[in-house]
Homo-oligomer: A and B are copies of this chain.
């Protein structure tokens, strides 16, 4: 791989030292089915005073702990035994972002993603007394510890169960929220930042349970919220350099990057993510005032535009040549042509601002030409003049995605944008957003179009809905009408702390 080692070195020097803290369980008890609880599982607490310890456990006994809050970190506990220790101890330890992950068996479950994402370990301890530290990092609120047919000769108990959590987010940097913000929005802001905090590790991870890695489109949203809260500019800079440093032989920046064993490309390329490197760099430079980085990475940003424009025809229209992964949203039924068209237009426009910031107007005319051509093509081919909304693909599909991105790209002005959004409500068969990532851009379009009340209502209903279910983090996938919806075959493998869902904070913190 033709990695740019200079860039990677810069990134590696910015690797943060993580901030530790200790979290202990606030309740312990037994797992039980409960149809009134999320995913029908609950922990029936036993009201013990010392919630970081268990009673003595024999044979195939089990205990479940609730840490009371989401944790990302390292679990440890001590073992105490009674009786004759004549055999190693075998334990199954399960970690759940939800209680259901503890309650449901993973046996026979064959997820399309790797089974290894499910957080359960089987450990055998030769001499089961003293401290046990699990070496891997887990993301969870709930833990169950099950004795796997241990002998009757002794029983054991867990004491001093705790999690050493880690994050690169500094809580003390968060500006105080305006006193005018109502309680529900304050809750949503708190949950947003909690979600982001757990995803801020040595990179901005998409989710600390899964995929635990840096995704370009996700990173952009995380960085935007970070600028309003934790203000960890170095972590953003590190991520920008990791992306630019792992570009392929075409100069194309990968859509995801791994840190271990050394920085490496995820070798996945998402058309929309590629283009979004441009606003991501611009926003960093604007927030951090670090113009040097913008100057150094400006050629990389321009290169992404050159690459995505290869799939735009001479009339300025994007065509899916099936060479890219088009993301936009998890909705498989979504036609993505209009959204991609709009994203490229948007990114070309952001490039003009970046050009000004770095003091290089040499490509301005090329940028203007493409903006004009693509905007014209969008109105001619992707706007339904009868229905007065944007359409996508041969099926002339009408979706929230297409309208949102065209509005964000400024293809229509403020007043038309507002009319389009109002008009959508009355139309039948409009393809809805399927997840928080696209919902973010819908919110952004609503604010642009002056639909502030509608946006706030959406925040309260959609993100507030997750809080109402008892979550202190926002989810990767959330459909209030189908809580078990999953792109991966099971809700158990969904990520329940996913940074692309943290953006309500961005809007709430801009309210007066």
Contact = CB atoms under 8 A, between A and B. Distances in A.
A96 to B, nearest CB: 16
B260 A127 contact: yes
A122 interface: yes
Interface string A453-469: 00000000000000000
A266 interface: yes
Q: How extensive is the interface on chain A, given as a class?
A: 35 or more
Contact of A88 (B86, B112, B117, B150): B117
A113 B153 CA distance: 9
B88 A266 contact: no
A331 B310 CA distance: 82
Copies in the complex: 2
Given A107-B107, A266-B84, A268-B84, A261 B127 contact: yes
Interface in A128-147: 129-130, 136
Contacts of A109: 149
A110 interface: yes
Contacts of A153: 114
Nearest to A260: B127
Contact of A149 (B89, B114, B130, B260): B114
A498 interface: no
Contacts of A114: 86-90, 149-151, 153
Nearest to A89: B116
B266 A211 contact: no
Given A116-B124, A129-B261, 14 more contacts: A84-B266, A84-B268, A86-B211, A87-B114, A87-B117, A88-B117, A90-B114, A110-B149, A114-B149, A114-B153, A115-B149, A116-B150, A121-B124, A127-B260
Interface of A: 60, 84-90, 107, 109-117, 121-122, 124, 126-127, 129-130, 136, 148-153, 211, 213, 258, 260-261, 266-268
8 contacts: A85-B258, A86-B114, A86-B266, A88-B116, A112-B152, A113-B151, A115-B149, A130-B261
